[in-house]
Amino acid sequence: MSDKEKHHVAQQHHHGPQGFIEKYVFSLDHKVIGLQYMITSLVFLLFGFSLIMLLRWQLAWPGRPMPLIGHLLKSSMPGGVMTPDFYLQLGAMHGTIMVFLGVVPLGVGAFGNYVLPLQIGAPDMAFPRMNMMSYWTFLVGGLVMLGSFLLPEGAANSGWTSYAPLSVQATAGQTLWLIGMVFLITSSLLGSINFIVTTIQMRAKGLSFFRLPVFVWAQFVTAVLLLLAFPPLEAAAVLQLMDRLAGTSFFLPTGLAAFGQPMAVSGGGQPLLWQHLFWFLAHPEVYVLVLPAIGIIGEIIANNTRKPLFGYRAMVGSMIFLGAMSFIVWAHHMFLTGMGPVMNAFFTTTTMIISIPSVVILTTYLISLWGGSIRFTTPMLFALAFLPMFGIGGLTGLPLGLPATDIHLHDTYYVIGHFHYVVAPGTIMALFAGIYYWFPKMFGRRMDDRLGKLHFWTSATFLNGVFFPMLLYGVAGVQRRLYDPTGYAHAVPVQPLNVIMTVSAYCLAVSQIPFIYNFFNSIWNGEKVSRNPWQATTLEWAAPSPPPHGNFDSPPRVYRGPYEYSVPGVKSDFVPQFSEDGGEPEEPRRKMASLA
């Protein structure tokens, strides 16, 4: 596309929709869709978090009636004590909601949609209608998932992994879960194609691939993962739906029984097939969760250390390698299913190999701090916290990836602690960092700094209060998904840990109040800011805050790499990618001094 044509497209977009519905509801604008994704996924995150708060009451004080809420949910919590079945529904839906309705739509749907076109200097996504369809498909999928709680038998209760044959004999909630998944997967596929095409086709003039900000790279790799990993799960979801509704036996072996009685199934299926198909998606999914976070962190660290990101190419290479490798590690979730020794050796080896790029990424960010002039802004605090938290998450993956140590730790709370360190104190911290960082661009106003710091310190403390005890609880050998763990002798001595985790979870919930208030209050009352309040270098800061329909005043042009901070010989400590002259030179006197 020539400059002129691009400008023409931008001009057309300026005459955007005027009516409320077209502008804010069925919008084609990537920024409105991004915000829709953001608000929706934040609501889902809060809902998923509420589910686990209910569940944690039962774990800390098994069998004790829950005050207030226990009396509201009469059928699921008779006498204020939840039934084992409700406990399992809460667990399964917490996992599903947090992963598929919370973190992925926030990291990819919200930030990807809002920031990616701006960072590459595009007026919009390549396929705006497909973009809109992606959001609405996502919303339908989410509502189907939540709606399953209203069924007489309740929501899905076979874990977020939905292992067959348990999930095949489960109640109707599982059917809605599968239908919901089909919608969510379709939404992700629509989004990922759009991201890939937009990144390849719509970059501003001069923005070569190695001038792309790491955030764009992260989103690009994520989109490829989504596009390649999700279809097998969509197929698997349809197969399981057939097993449940049409009497097929894809996942049901011959001679199967249920609750002590022989089941009327033709058989011949294989329960492990589901696990292979599921984890073939769900392991790349981990990187779908983490990569956008890694991208956000890169932007914020470069901006707040005021220096170019160390090892940019190593970083990009690591992300691509991580993405590729993530397709051949899935069976490390299945070490204890009785796979042969060759399979185990293969998946152990690939798992250890994939830990290398993660170490590269983490170390690269740490080294980036060296020699910087670090500003401790609210987004920077969240970004910095990501590093040690992701570090713990990554390191605790090591004993799980080695089959010998996995025997004892498999299916214990150690696993839960491990992946929550990656996703909750890790990824969610990074997503908060992103919200604080791009909020001024989204609304033209800044979020309150003092409330932001309060939100940060309390969240960081209580997140660790929830998840660190989990690792210890797992070392003691306590299994996952137990309605009342205290029946087991080995869970009794460590029961006080459950109380610590639950209390921390409730404090964590209270810590989110300043954020929620700050977010909504700042939309209308925050301090007004200019186009580039953080003095950043990437393209999104060339657009007005908030950017109008079509984004830029004129199609931007890129002259340099993404992180030209503290360039020697330049007066200002940053030179934006869109700056043609490279910044005003330093005063000659100081230059002389430095020469001498």
Partner 1 sequence: MSPQSPYGWWLPLNLSTLGPQLDRVFYIVHVFMLVLFVGWAIFFAYCLLRFRERGGRRAAYATDTRHLNTFLEIGVIAFEVVLIVFFSIPLWATAKYKTPSPQEAVEIEVVAEQFAWNIRYPGADGTFGRKDPGLMHSGNPIGLDRSDPAAQDDILTVNELFVPTGKPVLIHLTSKDVIHSFYLPVLRVKQDAIPGQKVAVWFQATDTGDFEIACAQLCGVAHYRMMGDLFIRTPEEFASWLKRKGAELKAAEKQKSAAKAADW
Site for partner 1 in 343-362 (CB under 8 A): 344-345, 348-349, 352, 355-356, 359-360, 362
CA distance 106 to 42: 7
Judge whether 595 and 557 are in contact, CB under 8 Å. Answer: no
DSSP 53-84: HHHHHHHHSTTPPPTTHHHHSTTTSGGG---H
Rounded Cα gap, residues 278 and 262, in angstroms: 27
- Judged by CB under 8 A, the residue of 63, 78, 84, 585 near partner 1 is 84
Contacts of 245 (CB under 8 A, 6+ apart): 175
Beta bridge partners of 205: 557
Closest approach of Cβ 212 to partner 1, in Å?
20
For residues 412 and 551, which CB has a smaller minimum distance to partner 1 in the complex?
412
| Residue 494 and residue 500 in contact, taking contact as beta carbons nearer than 8 Å | no
CA dist 401 and 428 (Å) reads: 24
Shortest Å, Cβ 550 to partner 1: 35
Nearer residue to partner 1 within complex by CB, 78 or 267: 267
Q: Judged by CB under 8 A, which of 480, 531, 557, 560 binds partner 1?
A: 480
Structure-token pair, residue 10:
């931008």
For residues 159 and 95, the answer to whether their CB atoms sit within 8 Å is yes
- Per CB under 8 A, which region of 5-13, 403-411, 436-444, 455-463 contacts partner 1? 403-411
Which pair of structure tokens corresponds to residue 111?
A: 């930030």
Nearer to partner 1, 355 or 521 (CB): 355
Nearest distance from C-beta of residue 279 to partner 1, angstroms: 14
Asked if 475 is part of the footprint of partner 1 (rule: CB under 8 A), the reply reads yes
Among the candidate windows 68-76, 157-165, 524-532, 548-556, which touches partner 1 by CB under 8 A?
157-165
Q: What is the x/- site pattern for partner 1, positions 417-456, by CB under 8 A?
A: ----------------------------------------
CA distance 589 to 78: 80
461 binds partner 1 (CB under 8 A): no
Q: How many CB atoms lie within 10 A of CB 155?
A: 27
Three-point CA angle 236, 239, 242, nearest 5°: 155
Question: CB of 118: closest distance to partner 1 in angstroms?
Answer: 25
Residue whose CB is less far from partner 1, 63 or 544: 63
What is the identity of the amino acid at 137?
Answer: T
In one letter, which amino acid is 457?
A: W
Q: DSSP characters for 126-186?
A: S-HHHHHHHHHHHHHHHHHHHHGGGSTT-S--STTTT-TTTTTSS-THHHHHHHHHHHHHH
User: Which positions from 485 through 504 interact with partner 1, judged by CB under 8 A?
Assistant: 485, 487-490, 492-494
Of 79 and 487, the one with the shorter C-beta distance to partner 1 is 487
Closest separation in Å from C-beta 330 to partner 1: 16
d(CA 299, CA 438) in angstroms, rounded, equals 11
Measured from the CB atom, the residue of 93 and 120 that comes closer to partner 1 is: 93
Our finding on whether 153 is near partner 1 (CB under 8 A) is no
Count CA atoms closer than 13 A to 270's CA, side-chain side: 6
For the chain, how far is it from start to end, CA to CA, in angstroms?
A: 49
41 touches partner 1 by CB under 8 A: no
Task: Give me the phi and psi of 375, to 5 degrees please.
Answer: -95, 125
Q: What's the distance, CA 382 to chain centroid?
A: 15
Query: Which residue, 19 or 262, is less far from partner 1 as judged by CB?
Result: 262
Q: Which is nearer to partner 1, 358 or 532 (CB)?
A: 358
CA 333, CA 337: separation in Å to the nearest integer?
9
Residue 423: CB minimum distance to partner 1, A: 19
- What is the footprint of partner 1 within residues 560-579 (CB under 8 A)? 565-568, 573
Q: How far apart are CA 299 and CA 130, in angstroms?
A: 28
Nearer Cβ to partner 1 (237/392): 392
Amino acid letter for position 414: Y
How many residues sit close enough to partner 1 to count as binding (CB under 8 A)? 100
Nearer residue to partner 1 within complex by CB, 246 or 404? 404
* Token code pair at residue 544: 């007005």
Nearer of residues 72 and 398 to partner 1, judged by Cβ? 398
Q: Which of 17, 85, 136, 151 binds partner 1 (CB under 8 A)?
A: 85
The least distance separating partner 1 from the CB of residue 481, rounded to whole angstroms, comes to: 4
Residues 52-71 close enough to bind partner 1 by CB under 8 A: none
Minimum distance from residue 393 beta carbon to partner 1 (Å): 11
Q: Quick one: 43 or 336, whose CB is closer to partner 1?
A: 336
Q: Are 241 and 181 in contact (CB under 8 A)?
A: no
Which span (124-132, 424-432, 476-484, 548-556) binds partner 1, by CB under 8 A? 476-484
Residues 166-185 that bind partner 1 (CB under 8 A): 166, 169
Which residues in the 361-400 window bind partner 1 by CB under 8 A? 362-364, 366-367, 369-376, 384, 387-388, 391-392, 395-396, 398-399
Shortest approach of partner 1 to residue 109 CB, angstroms? 30
Of 306-335, which residues contact partner 1 (CB under 8 A)?
306-308, 310-311, 314
The answer to whether the CB of 523 falls within 8 A of the CB of 446 is: no
Of 201 and 373, the one with the shorter C-beta distance to partner 1 is 373
How far are the Cα atoms of 47, 63, 367, 451, 588 from residue 51, in angstroms, in the given order?
6, 17, 39, 26, 63
Within residues 130-149, the interface with partner 1 by CB under 8 A covers: none
Q: Verify binding: residue 484, partner 1, rule CB under 8 A.
A: yes
- Among positions 273, 454, 476, 500, the unique one binding partner 1 when judged by CB under 8 A: 476
In the bound state with partner 1, the residue whose beta carbon lies nearer, of 29 and 564, is: 564
Q: Backbone phi, then psi, for 531, in 5-degree steps? A: -65, -35
Contact string 270-309 vs partner 1 (x = CB under 8 A): xxx--------------------------------xxxx-
- What does the alpha-carbon distance between residue 109 and residue 142 come to, in Å, rounded to a whole number? 14
Q: Which positions from 238 through 267 interact with partner 1, judged by CB under 8 A?
A: 253-263, 267
* β partners of residue 565: 574
